Structure 1
Amino acid sequence: MKCIVIGCGSIGLRHSRNFAAAGCEVAVIDQDAVRRDQAAQETGARAFATLDEALAWQPDMAVIAVPHRFHVPLALELLDRVRALLIEKPLTLSANEAKRFQDRAQQSDTLVRVVSNMRFHPGVASLREALDSIGEPHFARAHYGNYLPAMRADGDYRKLYCAHASEGGGVIYDAIHEMDYLCSFFGQATGCAGTFGRIGTLDIDVEDWASIVLTHATGMRSSIHLDYLRNPKSRGCEIVGTQGTILWESLGKAPEACRVTFADSKSRKTLFESAGIDTNQPYLDMAKNFTALVDGGVTDDDRLASVDDGAHVVALAETCKQSLGSSVALGAEFSREASHSCNR
């Protein structure tokens, strides 16, 4: 299997290494010749200066890992020119652009998926496996917090894309994973409300804090807290049901301690625990799953986010940023699975 990775930033390098580890022959593309050649040397990949050169190599699949505003234009150029396409999250920063891409992708023979590495995280995976144990779910509370200056220890946080509105930054779009995995659990959301702002002293022009409430078609409620202020990094989710509660708690980064527990009125048990998980493993598992799907070795599963999934969470994020605290109903075109029952 031949795979081209477009973009040689930190996430592009990660994808290059992981798709090579998944058994693919990898090539990288970047307009910056120095960064492109360095990425090729570090990962053992081929290097191409242009997309046309890379396509002449006849790749089977492509991974788009460039700034958000280029995701859809590149994806449109690649449809029907590769067998499969994996697009970094978020799919785009515009619900309208996401809808147009949805429509075009449905007419294409190219298999398209959106990066969903958190669905492969042991915390999220353990929650998914334990959903049956809590009976009918009432509500979920998810959170993510990571002090922005500590996000890249080797660089100035003010140079990161997530620090700038013009580059699609802000914690809502950056931490779109929480909305994604909750919708994969409980079905797409039919409405949301949110409040957000810049409440810290970071030198950024985007929100560093957000609180969001989703209403799923089943009546299930999910609340999400996101921030760039918490030190050390923390991530997790609590899901409360008629027969018990499951709780995922992750703390720290390199190492990241992770624990998932189940509790009811009579007992408590640990479902998963690690003092230091391999934080690259979810990305590698996703690369292996996607490669096997393209190669026909496995059937599709909902751990790989579809274009509809990717477009839906973009609509949610956009709606939350526009609602300013008021509950807003989402259009039917972004709730194509509104009748989807809870995935338990």
Structure 2
Amino acid sequence: MTVLIVGLGSIAKKHLSALRKLRPDMLVYALRSSSSSLSFDGVKDIYSWEELVDLNLDFVIISNPTSEHKWAIERLLDLQIPLFIEKPLYHSLAIEDLVHKVERSGQLTYVACNLRFLDCLKFVKEVLSEKKKCLNEVNVYCGSFLPDWRAGVDYRKIYSAISSMGGGVHLDLIHELDYLYWFFGVPRNIHSIFSSRSTLCIDAYDYANYCLEYDSFCANVVLNYYRKDTKRTLELVFEDETWSVDLLTNKIICGDNVVFSSDQVIGDTYLAQMDYVLQLIEERKTVSQNTICDAFNVLKICLTDDTKR
């Protein structure tokens, strides 16, 4: 099996680690922007698109900066090979025509949202699919401290802090919107507030607040880059009880009772995700659980802009 990685940054290294654990004999190429780029053991560097023709690729991982996803997908479309695209799909909705082209091509696409493989969220998905519990309200919160994301790196110079590169908390933390879409589909109405007023002093949005209206309940979502004590939770207010889901501990609590608990950590989901994708490719499937069309639907939710402050 042969894979090409476009953009060998921090997230690509997680995918590469998962590949090596699952398929140690896989041949890995990386498209590099410069001959001075840092090389990695077991990865063969190439420096032009023209070199792809003779590689006999089984799939491609697109993990370059978000703002460069569109041109990468365009260059790869004619090869008709499966595409593993890092989230978010893009930083604007100007990718719609390309999404339809890819859809018509019939090739396999998967947009990487690894929280779909987190045990507590998989449990919630199963319970909601049974439709035995009626929801009245959903509350989602994800707050962390951007300067702590990459040790020894000036947070103001990474793409997350730069809007023109596809940065911003609403895009970086699109996982929260993705799993709500996975659970409930497209909301009936979307209201949002974005701002960049915190002490981080960055160009990109460091706060996002959404209210997603569904037929019988609303889902409230708060995302930020400036919380020192990291918190990542989901609250499900059912008609008869309330579940508190802690994504960081992989546990669901209802009152004094533990509804669900798992020893899995979020880092483990990258391996589960890659295993899922490799099985799709080896079985020659053409549809994944998160296609480029699904990801575009989530992007439309993400970028709905009621208010900028």
Q: Given the superposition, is the C-alpha separation of residues 76 and 49 from structure 1 closer, same or farther in structure 2, using an over 3 Å criterion?
A: same
Provide the rounded CA distance (Å) in 2 between the counterparts of 1:134 and 1:155: 48
Following superposition, the deviation at residue 100 of structure 1 comes to 0.9
Provide the rounded CA distance (Å) in 2 between the counterparts of 1:209 and 1:60: 39
1:296 aligns with 2:283: yes
Equivalent residue, structure 1, for 2:16: 16
Identity of aligned residues (%): 26
1:272 aligns with 2:264: no
Per-residue CA deviation, residues 69-116 of structure 1 (Å, 9 max, x unaligned), is 21121112212414200111111122232x212210122132112111
Per-residue CA deviation, residues 243-291 of structure 1 (Å, 9 max, x unaligned), is 433221145xxxxx3322245xxx72340144xx443211111111011
Equivalent residue, structure 1, for 2:209: 211
Per-residue CA deviation, residues 214-247 of structure 1 (Å, 9 max, x unaligned), is 123x443211010111112211101122343322
Provide the rounded CA distance (Å) in 1 between the counterparts of 2:163 and 2:284: 41
Match of 1:63 among 43, 61, 67: 61
Following superposition, the deviation at residue 300 of structure 1 comes to 5.7
Query: Does the Cα contact within 8 Å between 1:262 and 1:271 map onto a contact in 2?
Result: no
Query: Does the Cα contact within 8 Å between 1:3 and 1:19 map onto a contact in 2?
Result: no
Following superposition, the deviation at residue 152 of structure 1 comes to 1.0
Following superposition, the deviation at residue 61 of structure 1 comes to 0.3
Provide the rounded CA distance (Å) in 2 between the counterparts of 1:155 and 1:191: 39
1:241 aligns with 2:225: no
Equivalent residue, structure 1, for 2:115: 118
Q: Given the superposition, is the C-alpha separation of residues 301 and 108 from structure 1 closer, same or farther in structure 2, using an over 3 Å criterion?
A: closer
Structure-to-structure mapping, 1:123-142, within 5 angstroms:
123-131=120-128, 132=130, 135-142=133-140
1:306 aligns with 2:302: no
Q: Given the superposition, is the C-alpha separation of residues 112 and 133 from structure 1 closer, same or farther in structure 2, using an over 3 Å criterion?
A: closer
Equivalent residue, structure 1, for 2:271: 284
**Paired AA for residue 302 in structure 2:** A
**Paired AA for residue 110 in structure 2:** R
Query: Does the Cα contact within 8 Å between 1:19 and 1:26 map onto a contact in 2?
Result: no
Aligned length: 305
Q: Which runs of 4+ in 1 moved over 4 A?
A: 297-301
Query: Does the Cα contact within 8 Å between 1:28 and 1:45 map onto a contact in 2?
Result: yes
Structure-to-structure mapping, 1:24-103, within 5 angstroms:
24-35=26-37, 37-38=38-39, 40-41=40-41, 44-97=42-95, 99-103=96-100
Equivalent residue, structure 2, for 1:329: none
Equivalent residue, structure 2, for 1:144: 142
Q: Given the superposition, is the C-alpha separation of residues 273 and 19 from structure 1 closer, same or farther in structure 2, using an over 3 Å criterion?
A: closer
Provide the rounded CA distance (Å) in 2 between the counterparts of 1:30 and 1:190: 42
Provide the rounded CA distance (Å) in 2 between the counterparts of 1:258 and 1:138: 23
Q: Given the superposition, is the C-alpha separation of residues 106 and 238 from structure 1 closer, same or farther in structure 2, using an over 3 Å criterion?
A: same
Structure-to-structure mapping, 1:163-178, within 5 angstroms:
163-178=161-176
Query: Does the Cα contact within 8 Å between 1:5 and 1:29 map onto a contact in 2?
Result: yes
Query: Does the Cα contact within 8 Å between 2:115 and 2:266 map onto a contact in 1?
Result: no
Unaligned runs of 5+ in 2: none
1:315 aligns with 2:263: no
Query: Does the Cα contact within 8 Å between 1:80 and 1:109 map onto a contact in 2?
Result: no
Provide the rounded CA distance (Å) in 2 between the counterparts of 1:32 and 1:285: 32
Per-residue CA deviation, residues 22-67 of structure 1 (Å, 9 max, x unaligned), is 32432212113333x42x32xx222222232134211010010011
Equivalent residue, structure 2, for 1:104: 101
Q: Given the superposition, is the C-alpha separation of residues 20 and 114 from structure 1 closer, same or farther in structure 2, using an over 3 Å criterion?
A: same
Provide the rounded CA distance (Å) in 2 between the counterparts of 1:301 and 1:8: 24
Match of 2:253 among 242, 257, 261: 261
1:225 aligns with 2:210: no
**Paired AA for residue 18 in structure 2:** N
Query: Does the Cα contact within 8 Å between 2:109 and 2:288 map onto a contact in 1?
Result: no
Provide the rounded CA distance (Å) in 1 between the counterparts of 2:288 and 2:73: 22
Unaligned runs of 5+ in 1: 252-256, 326-344
Q: Matched residue of 1:58: which SS? A: coil
Q: TM-score, normalised by structure 2?
A: 0.91
Provide the rounded CA distance (Å) in 1 between the counterparts of 2:82 and 2:157: 32
Equivalent residue, structure 1, for 2:178: 180
Following superposition, the deviation at residue 118 of structure 1 comes to 1.3
Provide the rounded CA distance (Å) in 1 between the counterparts of 2:172 and 2:224: 10
Q: Given the superposition, is the C-alpha separation of residues 298 and 60 from structure 1 closer, same or farther in structure 2, using an over 3 Å criterion?
A: closer
Across the aligned residues of Structure 1 and Structure 2, the Cα RMSD in angstroms comes to: 2.2
